Amino acid sequence: MTNAKLDALRGRIDEINLLLLELLSERAAIAQEIGQEKEKQGVPKHDPIREKEMLEALVARNNGPFDTDAIRHLFKQIFQASLNLQQNDHKKQLLVSRKQKKEDTVITLGPVTVGGTKPIMVAGPCSVESYEQLRTVAASLKQAGVHVMRGGAFKPRTSPYDFQGLGIEGLRMLKEVASEFGLKTISEIVDPAHIELAGQYIDVIQIGARNMQNFELLKAAGEVRTPILLKRGLAATIDEFLHAAEYILSRGNSQVMLIERGIRTYEKATRNTLDISAVPILKQESHLPVLVDVTHSTGRKDIFAPCAKAALAAGADGIMVEVHPDPPTALSDAAQQLTIEEFNRFYTEVNKNGIVF
């Protein structure tokens, strides 16, 4: 083939490329409009029956030189790209999305803010056990300069024979001790019926990893105005995590904080695998504050501090860690709670130059 002939043919291909591009773009814009219509009607974006019908029609009209498989493959790619567009458009419309709200959501908890100028430290026992236990922890948190105390009253445990928590009585104890020491509180709620009541006792309602997709609980959490700390599920993708938060925002409660707590992988060196990359991704995709639970993600006291520092370096708005006056006697998570002395060392190391509230 002479160069002139080759150039001419390639020139035609260039022209056809441009025509295809124009047609593909026009097609894509129509697919986006269809996506908007589906959004309004609340129907799924993916329509495999429609795709099958189009493929059959195209294959029937195909006279070569591409064979049937090639035609199917090419058009499936086009359908997939259109579907991706529709799904991305949907994501941009989520209330949790940064595309909807550019500014960071800032949640005020007494003297501190979450998602504001400085990251916060949340610490406290795994479970509320006694007044004495709570007072000892509260006093040491106060002394260290920590403002928010956690403590579980409802404990969703793997085994039904393990300590299930003190329930409402535990919330009452938490409130009493926290007000003695001027601390704000976080505790997990597991029953939609307790969500409203919880607001009388605690400052932040935690929805635990096992309940991340308990949609009735999420809906109930959306009906109140108490801030919510939503934990990432044990095997939840970032997309599922954000959609779980969307349930709460969609019902009107915009005071939502996300917390990465490790995901299930094959790795056995840690209790779960701390997904540090989730922090910058969540911060990019969403305006909600993002915290990291170093206790449950790693389950290893010896690496809490470096993991907390890594989380802060990745942009986390806070760290959560468990502390107990006497971990070996703790009624839950005995192995991974810090003693008060260990907590003080941890906090000093993480809070170098006073970077944390």
Ligand X SMILES: C=C(O[C@@H]1C=C(C(=O)O)C=C[C@H]1O)C(=O)O
353 burial (CB, 10 Å; 0-12 / 13-18 / 19+) is exposed
Instruction: Check residue 167 and report its DSSP letter.
Output: T
User: Whose Cβ is closer to ligand X: residue 36's or residue 143's?
Assistant: 36
Confirm or reject binding of residue 34 to ligand X (CB under 6 A): yes
Shortest distance, position 309 Cβ to ligand X, whole Å: 45
| Interface size with ligand X, residues (CB under 6 A) | 10
Task: Considering only residues 62 through 81, tell me which ones interact with ligand X, judged by CB under 6 A.
Answer: 79
Q: Is 110 left (phi over 0), alpha (psi -120 to 50) or beta?
A: left
For residue 189, give the nearest of 224, 221, 158 by alpha carbon: 221
Encoding tokens for residue 151? 């403590």
Which among 45-53, 144-152, 203-211, 297-305 is the span making contact with ligand X, rule CB under 6 A? 45-53
Of 76 and 345, the one with the shorter C-beta distance to ligand X is: 76
CA distance 166 to 170: 5
Question: Measured between alpha carbons, how far is 108 from 118 in angstroms, rounded to an integer?
Answer: 12
User: By CB under 6 A, is residue 298 in contact with ligand X?
Assistant: no
Count of other CB atoms within 10 angstroms of residue 66: 12
Task: List the interface residues with ligand X, window 86-105 (CB under 6 A).
Answer: 86
Which of 50, 345 has the CB closer to ligand X? Answer: 50
Among 10, 12, 46, 225, binds ligand X (CB under 6 A): 46
Binding span for ligand X by CB under 6 A among 47-55, 202-210, 230-238, 266-274: 47-55
Nearest partner of 196 among 169, 226, 171, 219, judged by Cα: 226
> Is 59 among the residues that bind ligand X (CB under 6 A)?
no
- Chain positions 160 to 199 lying near ligand X, rule: CB under 6 A, are none
Rule CB under 6 A: is residue 338 a binding residue for ligand X?
no
Q: Which residue is nearest to ligand X (CB)?
A: 82
Task: Tell me: does residue 52 bind ligand X (CB under 6 A).
Answer: no
Taking CA 159 as the corner, what is the angle to CA 153 and CA 165, rounded to the nearest 5 degrees? 15
Region label for 231, one of left (φ > 0), alpha (ψ between -120 and 50) or beta (otherwise): beta
Rounded CA separation 294/273 (Å): 10
Q: Shortest distance, CB of residue 238 to ligand X, whole angstroms?
A: 23
Rule CB under 6 A: say whether 39 interacts with ligand X.
no
Which residue's CB is nearer to ligand X, number 83 or number 310? 83
Residues that bind ligand X (CB under 6 A): 31, 34, 46-47, 50-51, 79, 82-83, 86
